[in-house]
């Protein structure tokens, strides 16, 4: 079922114009700094001291860093990327019943979408990414809600973030399954990611990314919402991937 979800998410992303990349799961310090995960004040990244490398917390890090020191032409924008990777997070400071099971893992799978945009178009692109994630959840027929985060709840790198949450009937609470963010020029400034306009002048691009989607909690949502006395019914959009209709 998880393999079906990964293939489904990647297929939907590529159908929407995103180009799939296979990226490394270990990055150097400069890469973590470029996208804003470093310095790691909260202690969330796994560090391999012998090689001075970091396990990625999200595919956003290696995907966005592919464009470090790149000057695109205005005609090359937008750049749309997608990648599936395992993600590694220490989850320092997390404790209690809400971190058990599939809720909060040190390693989990996620499909990511990343966009490099002209500053004049980045918020239109953000709305499009929100609609794309909505489409995935609607096709899976999972109960969800969207939150527009206030400044105090956003990461310091983000200019605007929307969170998607799926309702867990077993826990009687909402679980975050996606964040979609516009970073404007924050990451581009660190990465020196620019585009050249028609007059030959260089400008910082805007970067955006979002989860489409995080696998453990989507999987849990399906197991809960599709449970019947006969077993777990497979969502209709996944049946061509699984080859079966029910887990009994």
Residues 6 or more apart in contact with residue 170 via CB below 8 angstroms: 224
- Specify whether 173 is catalytic: no
Q: How many CB atoms lie within 10 A of CB 25?
A: 15
Structure-token pair, residue 73: 């032409």
Sheet holding 246-247, edge to edge: 227-228, 231-233, 246-247
- Specify whether 60 is catalytic: no
Query: Which candidate in 74, 76, 176, 236 is catalytic?
Result: 176
Q: State residue 165 phi and psi, 5-degree precision.
A: -130, 140
Query: Which candidate in 90, 104, 196, 239 is catalytic?
Result: 104
Q: What is the CA radius of gyration of the chain?
A: 19
Query: Which candidate in 31, 179, 211, 212 is catalytic?
Result: 179
- Specify whether 89 is catalytic: yes
Spatial distance between the Cα atoms of 208 and 70, rounded to a whole number of angstroms? 16
Instruction: Report the b/e string of 157-182 with b at 16+ CB within 10 A.
Output: bbbbbbbbbbbbeeeeebbebbbbbb
Query: Which candidate in 89, 115, 190, 194 is catalytic?
Result: 89
- Residue spans of beta strands (DSSP E) within 22-134: 26-27, 47-48, 53-55, 71-73, 79-88, 107-117
Annotated active-site positions, please?
Answer: 89, 104, 176, 179, 217
């Amino acid at each position: 079922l998880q393999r079906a979800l990964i293939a489904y998410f990647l297929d939907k992303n590529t159908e929407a114009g995103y180009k799939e990349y296979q990226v490394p799961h270990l990055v150097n310090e400069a890469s973590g700094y470029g996208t804003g995960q470093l310095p790691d004040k909260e202690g969330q990244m796994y560090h391999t001291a012998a090689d001075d490398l970091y396990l990625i917390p999200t595919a956003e890090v290696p995907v966005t860093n592919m464009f470090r020191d790149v000057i695109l032409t205005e005609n090359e924008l937008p750049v749309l990327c997608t990648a599936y990777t395992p993600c590694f997070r220490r989850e320092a400071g997390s404790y209690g019943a809400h971190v058990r099971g599939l809720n909060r893992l040190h390693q989990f799978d996620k499909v990511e979408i990343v966009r490099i945009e002209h500053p004049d178009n980045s918020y239109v692109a953000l709305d499009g990414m929100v609609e794309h994630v909505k489409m995935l959840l609607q096709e899976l027929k999972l109960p969800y809600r969207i939150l527009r985060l206030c400044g105090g709840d956003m990461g310091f790198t983000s200019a605007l973030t929307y969170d998607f949450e799926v309702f867990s009937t077993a826990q009687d609470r909402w679980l975050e399954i996606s964040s979609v963010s516009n970073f404007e020029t924050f990451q581009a400034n660190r990465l020196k990611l620019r585009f050249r306009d028609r007059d030959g002048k260089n400008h910082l691009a805007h970067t955006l990314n979002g989860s489409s989607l995080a696998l453990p909690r989507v999987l849990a949502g399906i197991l809960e919402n599709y449970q019947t006395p006969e077993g777990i019914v497979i969502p209709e959009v996944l049946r061509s991937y699984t080859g079966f209709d029910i887990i009994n």
